[in-house]
Amino acid sequence: NAGVTQTPKFQVLKTGQSMTLQCAQDMNHEYMSWYRQDPGMGLRLIHYSVGAGITDQGEVPNGYNVSRSTTEDFPLRLLSAAPSQTSVYFCASSSGGNTIYFGEGSWLTVV
Amino acid sequence: SQKIEQNSEALNIQEGKTATLTCNYTNYSPAYLQWYRQDPGRGPVFLLLIRENEKEKRKERLKVTFDTTLKQSLFHITASQPADSATYLCALPRASSASKIIFGSGTRLSIRP
C-alpha cells in the first residue's frame, strides 16, 4: 500500500512553461485534492474532486487545471508557469469526512 | 468570510511541560475539526478528529477539546518531548462545501531539552 504518490519531487521551470504534477492513490478514496503551501500561509486549497469525472475549484485555482478520469489519479496542470507559482504542492486523498492522507510534496521553482 | 486562526506562529516550551495550541475559527459551524502534524520537508500527518458533539478526545499524550460556543479548539501535548517538535495544523470543512477542507497556517512547536 503506497498511499498517495506524487511526482516529481523537485522541478524547476522557466516562466511560461507548462507542466503536470502527477498524483496517484491506491486506497480507493473518492476525495482527492491539491494544496499549495507557502511560508506563513499554511495550506491553501487549489482544486478538489469528489469522484471520477467531478472536479471543483478551491481557494486559489487560477493558473491551474485538473481532471479526474479515474479514481486513482488526479493530475495538476500548470498551463503557463509564473514565479508566483513557486511553492510546495501537496496532493491529498480521503474517504470523505475522515482522515486526509497527504503525499510527500512536490517542490516547484519557477524562474 | 470564514477564517481559521492558530494562536501563534511559534511556541517554545521546556521538555516535560504541557504544550497547548489554539485553533480559532469564525463564521463557521463545522461538523468536525482535525489536527495534523507536519515535519520539515514532509506532508502533514493526521493526528485526531473531533466532532461537534464531542467535547474532548484523547490519544495517548494528546488531547483535543472542541468548544462550539467559543468557536475554538485546544490541542494539548502532555509530558512533551523533543520528538514532539513539529508544526501542528488544524483543519475544518467549509460550511459552503463539506468537501472543501481548509487548514490553518499552523503553529511551529519547539520542545527544548
pLDDT digits 0-9 by tens, A10-65: 999 999 999 999 999 999 999 999 999 998 778 999 999 999 999 999 999 999 99
Average pLDDT, chain B: 92
What is the Cα B105 distance to its own chain's centre?
10
Do B101 and A102 make contact, defined as CB atoms within 8 angstroms? no
Whether residue A89 lies within 8 A of chain B, CB to CB, comes out as no
Distance from CA of B54 to the nearest CA of A (A): 15
> B-side interface with A, Cβ within 8 Å?
9, 31-32, 34, 36, 41-46, 49, 89, 91, 93, 97-106
Do A43 and B89 make contact, defined as CB atoms within 8 angstroms? yes
Which residues of chain A neighbour B93 with C-beta distances below 8 Å? Answer: 97
Annotate B17-40 with DSSP letters as a single string: SPEEEEEEEES---SEEEEEEE-T
**Mutating which of B48, B101, B107, B108 best tests the A interface, going by the most A Cβ atoms within 10 A?**
B101
Nearest CB to B99: which of A31, A59, A104?
A: A31
Return the H-helix or E-strand segment holding A19.
strand A19-25
Percent of chain B with pLDDT over 70: 99
Is the pLDDT higher at B14 or at A99? B14
Which residues between 41 and 80 in chain A have a beta carbon less than 8 angstroms from any beta carbon of chain B? 41-45, 48, 50, 56, 58-59
Mean pLDDT over B47-52 rounds to 94
Mean pLDDT over B10-32 rounds to 92
**Residue B98: pLDDT over 80:** no
Q: Say how far apart CA A67 and CA B58 lie, in whole Å.
A: 38
**Residue B6: pLDDT over 70:** yes
Which residue in B23, B4, B9, B7 sits closest to B87, CA to CA?
Answer: B9
> In 3-state terms, what secondary structure has residue A110?
strand
CB A22 within 8 A of CB A75: yes
What is the pLDDT, as a whole number, of residue B30?
Answer: 87
A63-111: per-residue pLDDT in tens? Answer: 999 999 999 999 999 999 999 999 999 999 998 767 899 999 999 999 9
> What's the pLDDT band for B8 if we cut at 50, 70, 90?
confident
Chain A / chain B CB contacts < 8 angstroms = 57
Do A100 and B34 make contact, defined as CB atoms within 8 angstroms? yes
Which residue in A98, A86, A105, A101 sits closest to A8, CA to CA?
Answer: A105
Q: Which sign, positive or negative, has the C-alpha torsion A28, B58, B2, B53?
A: positive
Instruction: Return the amino acid letter for A48.
Output: Y
Whether residue A82 lies within 8 A of chain B, CB to CB, comes out as no
- CB-facing half-sphere around the CA of B111: CA atoms within 13 A: 17
> What's the pLDDT band for A1 if we cut at 50, 70, 90?
low
